[in-house]
């Protein structure tokens, strides 16, 4: 499965992220030194044309998640 192009989104979904949070994740939200993901943004498609980017669904949605240990290994 690791060679599949959808491996990372599937892993993030298994970690509890909503689909809009997976789509809204940016490289700047990932801190490899602290091994964390900052969930503060979502991205959804409206009307098959317009991408809407906004804050998380609720205040509790904005959270700091740990990265798996193998993900941050040098």
| pLDDT given at position 61 | 64
List the helix and strand counts (H, then E) for the chain: 2, 5
pLDDT, tens digit, for every residue of 14-68? 888 888 888 888 889 888 888 898 888 888 888 888 998 887 666 666 788 888 7
Cα first-last separation, the chain: 21
CA-wise closest residue to 55 among 39, 70, 31:
39
| pLDDT given at position 74 | 62
| pLDDT given at position 50 | 92
pLDDT, tens digit, for every residue of 2-17? 789 998 889 888 888 8
């Amino acid at each position: 499965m690791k060679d599949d192009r959808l491996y990372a989104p599937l892993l993030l979904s298994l970690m509890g992220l909503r689909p809009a949070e997976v789509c809204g994740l940016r490289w700047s939200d990932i801190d490899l030194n602290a091994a964390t993901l900052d969930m503060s943004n979502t991205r959804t498609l409206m009307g098959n044309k317009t991408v809407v980017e906004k804050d998380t669904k609720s205040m509790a949605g904005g959270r700091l998640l740990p990265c798996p240990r193998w993900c941050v290994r040098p």
